Structure 1
């Protein structure tokens, strides 16, 4: 489904941005989950060779380093189990060497950090893990599944749903919409596409009318399946836009906890994509670029005015709306949006203190 790769290759700018995002997110996820669980799992479904041509670390080493170098690691008493899955034999051998070298450089190796290297396809690994847990009558520990393929084969929606059915499990997946769009109506890889979506509805993309976006149709379908089949109440997607303004792929994050949404939002806004690539999302028909240096909060302002016209609403509800239904962070709400709205006399504010928007504040939108 994609161009062949050698054992190792150059690190692309968009891949570095994706890895930075993973690092920032795990930096928050590890301490949160380890504080109330005896074991947590990181599953890398397409782990790769471990390093790139110029020596940059791949996702397995990034995940390990994020944990071991964390300022709170000594206080994290739970067991960390890392599954690194790589199907290609040459890449698996390279990964094995890189992990061995990393462990040797970090002796004494912490007893609560376990690594399992698996030389098989992601779908096979996930299915075997599910069957093992069933035989043991056990449930999967809270898991963060990082699924980053080169194409779209080997990602069955049904397997993702079963593997991540536990309430604290999360998914971060690279959805190669460009490849999907190219093959959606070709008819020669339908078995892969049925697996990917868990439905044949993708074929309706051929009926998209002129002026509508095939990519948007395929994006919305995948998002709907993550919600309906995998039962993720919170699904966020982030477009990776190249220097020509073209969407190369979407990153989807699925979680069942609002805290996971908050952590991912914080990570997204920290990443400097660089290399001419940008992360973006859409709100009210307008692109929102994830760049802290020049945040355009006008779409958030318009969304709030449209959503809450004629209503009196708490600051807590506004935070939840901002976090769950827009691309923005909580920090983009108060000073960038609410303060100007109050100054302009557009909203009326009832606050328990003399200034700001503390807990207990109510806002009326005329």
Structure 2
């Protein structure tokens, strides 16, 4: 059966695109100001819009790139929009021409921002396109520029672990991938899908999960995929966000993978904006934009303060940056949560802070730092009480 050219945008898709938006707005200046070129890949770009006239991921990405407040300070940005359905790819290209009035630089290649932004609508399957890109870089002995890939397929086909690993092994490569757990779970016992799932995972270990059921099986399917990203793709840090449909059924996990804790921090901050209770999930079933929360949800500041003090208790001359790094890597919280938690500890007499200077042997404490609720990196260090 032929798929629709465009369709309505579900609330969970809107939430997914907001995570993409929040992340790229922070990722672009962080990488773009220190590198001549950066690359963004949309692996399953679609037609670019929905039946209700809401933007698709290519428009979300290009709007951020072209309108970023720091665009003049950022180097060249390439955007590869890959779509395997010709009708959708043609619709996407026509839409982008009408929306941005770009200069044509080649077949389906266009320029914006006086040549500082180049985007290409690539009419082909994601797996074949990525394989060709990686082959070219290997043949010529070059690597891709710092890269972010948004990989949002309709099902488990066409996203083999071998290619995801090849992309992740590029310098400063990060991915946000839709892991379609509902489809994977449904096809787990279907012989015709064995090769597809072998390719998805890059192993056959998923077959051991066939005898499991329910929530635990879905969790194990996710954890196996994440473990494969770490073992095969070299991902140091991962994060996942659950998307549920109108019946509150798990549809897919957005799985983020990176090699640097700063990337993890940016994505955590993006996901916290969509799930301010720290649940890292979104459900169409409970979504009600007409009835916002009476009391806005926020992080559990007492919990974070307790976690920080428990880990750092008795330590002296700890720079705030070290506290932020530990928080991002070891807890569900992000770096922008740390200051308020430290302020709570300060009010309870659990820490003292000092102006500090760095020497070759470490931080040297100077005079007490008296400004309450402030913990500027590079200027102060913190002593934690032992009890």
TMscore range, shorter length: 0.7 to 0.9
What residue in structure 1 maps to residue 24 of structure 2? 26
Aligned length: 348
Structure 2 unaligned residues grouped into runs of 5+? 105-110, 282-292, 356-368
- State which structure, 1 or 2, has the greater radius of gyration over its C-alpha atoms: 2
Hey, what's the Cα distance between the residues in 2 that align with 1:351 and 1:4?
Answer: 67
What residue in structure 2 maps to residue 317 of structure 1? 322
What residue in structure 2 maps to residue 92 of structure 1? 89
TM-score, length-scaled by structure 2: 0.81
For 1:66-215, what aligned pairs fall within 5 Å after superposition?
Answer: 66-76=64-74, 78-104=75-101, 109=112, 110-208=114-212, 213-215=216-218
For 1:244-323, what aligned pairs fall within 5 Å after superposition?
Answer: 245-271=248-274, 280-281=279-280, 293-297=296-300, 299-301=303-305, 303-304=307-308, 307=311, 314=318, 315-323=320-328
SS at 2:251 equivalent: strand
Q: Does residue 334 in structure 1 map to residue 313 in structure 2?
A: no
Q: CA deviation at 1:362?
A: 2.5
Residues 165 and 234, structure 2, Cα contact 8 Å, conserved in 1: yes
Q: CA deviation at 1:38?
A: 1.6
Structure 1 unaligned residues grouped into runs of 5+? 283-290
Change (3 A) 1:272 1:265: closer
Q: CA deviation at 1:351?
A: 4.4
What root-mean-square deviation, in Å, do the aligned CA atoms of Structure 1 and Structure 2 show?
Answer: 2.9
Residues 80 and 112, structure 1, Cα contact 8 Å, conserved in 2: yes
Change (3 A) 1:83 1:299: same
Q: CA deviation at 1:311?
A: 6.3
Q: Does residue 49 in structure 1 map to residue 50 in structure 2?
A: no
Residues 240 and 280, structure 1, Cα contact 8 Å, conserved in 2: no
Residues 174 and 252, structure 1, Cα contact 8 Å, conserved in 2: yes
Hey, what's the Cα distance between the residues in 1 that align with 2:247 and 2:343?
Answer: 36
Q: CA deviation at 1:10?
A: 0.5
Q: CA deviation at 1:146?
A: 0.5
Residues 238 and 279, structure 1, Cα contact 8 Å, conserved in 2: no
SS at 1:144 equivalent: strand
Higher relative contact order structure (alpha carbons within 8 Å, sequence separation ≥ 6):
1
Residues 351 and 357, structure 1, Cα contact 8 Å, conserved in 2: no
TM-score, length-scaled by structure 1: 0.85
Hey, what's the Cα distance between the residues in 1 that align with 2:187 and 2:64?
Answer: 37
Hey, what's the Cα distance between the residues in 2 that align with 1:279 and 1:14?
Answer: 17
